[in-house]
Amino acid sequence: MDHMSLDRFDRAILTTLAEEGRISIADLARRIGLSKSPTQARLRRLERDGAIRGYRAILDPIRLGLDHVAFVEVKMTSTSEAALAKFNQAAAAVPEIEQVHLIAGNFDYLLKVRTADMRSYRRVLAEKISTLPGMSATSTYVAMEAVKEDGLADVT
């Protein structure tokens, strides 16, 4: 994967949009110190080149009753490309799994799973996660508190 070359204006656009995705082009231009036309052209290029993958509302899972977070270590029976591809596709289809990471270490995957409560998590583990293709074992770690969970990376 090629990394993009970003100048200070591109980085300012990305940082501002990560914090305020609904900002107008005029306000964005004013904030980064360019006029509207070059700001809009840069924004289109960042979208086209994949630096900006999309825009969405950030929901508050606690207010929506989804305050149980578990991290699940997954060990696979095989780590062949075909086995990993099957697992990836199946795990991506489970709505309660928020994140799936292939890990280099003592286990193969780390999943972030969000549910309403422990009872719901146990059902998801038994009915969905445990049936994912190629799994041999899981270990669950329950989060007690989210200290930082904004997903914002510093692009400066």
Span 70-113, pLDDT tens digits: 999 999 999 999 999 999 999 999 999 999 999 999 999 999 99
| Arithmetic mean of pLDDT over the chain | 93
pTM confidence score: 0.81
Give, as one character, the DSSP assignment of residue 50: T
User: In terms of pLDDT, which residue wins out, 104 or 147?
Assistant: 104
Contact 70, 140 (CB under 8 A): yes
Beta strands in 25-108 (DSSP E): 68-76, 97-102
pLDDT of residue 47: 96
Angle at 7 between CA 49 and CA 47, to 5 degrees: 20
